[in-house]
Amino acid sequence: MCEIFCFNSDKPKQINECLECFYNHSENHPHGWGLANMQPDEFVIRKEPIKATCSQHLKEILSNPLVSKNVFAHIRLATMGEIISPNCHPFIELDDNNRSWMLIHNGTIFDYPPLDKYREIETGNTDSERILLYIIDNLNKFEEAKGAPSTIKERFNLLAELIEEMAEGNKLNLMIYDGDLTYIHSNMRDSLYYLNNDEGFLVASTPITDDENWKPAEMNKLFGIIDGNIIFESEEHDNEFILTKEHEEFIQKHINSLNLGD
């Protein structure tokens, strides 16, 4: 599956070293890379459907200081969808109140029928893009019923409910950003870690520095982070994902088809 990373802080920091360490994991995740630099006035997104360590474009980006309060990164091992740019993370969509949303995903949706209808409108053909479309669709319905934009807490509560439902039988390690709040969720043991220090709040699929203070992220909860601090934490749900032989065979079959060019 994929690897994901985010950095969240109260002040802009240079994070080139962390990103370089993260992208060096791409030997085992060769199907694309993505980078989202969340500036106050725009989301700057770069991505390519090639191995990160082979990307001249990424090398050029990281040859200059990358300074930001909010950064997300992704390296892809395709378990669904082709190796094309529209299938690379991050995904970005607007809601009906013109709020930009960004999502990166580590995992696979094996069975969740409510996502199926978004196959007709997504740009690529991944389960991950459909997750974002589903979240925004439900948010739009909530805000239409309310007759006003949602508050940060209302958005957090809505996502906590939707993610708990989606997590049943599916691996759902997610990082989402709505312009205000960073949402973090993991439901598989030993698949997401965090480090909180003076530099900021870092979250990654595997520790990317030698710091001994990296800890496993708490599973089956949604966390909301602003300025390097957890401000919201959901109740724990019961939908832990456990990888089975059948899951592994499903994933390997798809990877083999990509390698064969099918």
User: What's the predicted TM-score (pTM) here?
Assistant: 0.95
CA 109 to centroid of chain Cα atoms: 14
pLDDT band per the 50, 70, 90 thresholds, residue 32: very high
| 214: Cβ contacts below 8 Å, ≥ 6 apart | 193, 194, 195, 207
DSSP 209-238: SS-TT-EEPPTTEEEEEETTEEEEEPPP-S
CA 255 to centroid of chain Cα atoms: 20
Pairwise CA distance, residues 220 & 197, whole Å = 23
Give CA separation, 161 vs 81, 91, 111, 166, 182, in Å.
Answer: 27, 21, 17, 9, 16
Q: How many CB atoms lie within 10 A of CB 187?
A: 26
Instruction: Choose the weakest-confidence range: 7-16, 38-47, 75-84.
Output: 75-84
Q: How many CB atoms lie within 10 A of CB 4?
A: 28
| 132: Cβ contacts below 8 Å, ≥ 6 apart | 91, 93, 101, 103, 176
Q: How many CB atoms lie within 10 A of CB 144?
A: 10
DSSP state of 50: S
Tell me, what's the pLDDT at 23?
A: 97
Residue ranges of domains in the chain, CATH in brackets: 3-259 (3.60.20.10)
Pairwise CA distance, residues 165 & 156, whole Å = 14
Pairwise CA distance, residues 216 & 16, whole Å = 23
Query: Quick one: what percent of the chain has pLDDT higher than 70?
Result: 98
Pairwise CA distance, residues 241 & 172, whole Å = 8
1 within 8 A of 108, measured Cβ to Cβ: yes
Tell me, what's the pLDDT at 262?
A: 38
**pLDDT tens across 219-261, in order?**
999 999 999 999 999 999 999 999 999 888 888 887 787 764 4
**pLDDT tens across 140-198, in order?**
999 999 999 999 999 999 999 999 999 999 999 999 999 999 999 999 999 999 999 98
Q: Give residue for tokens 């993370």.
A: 89
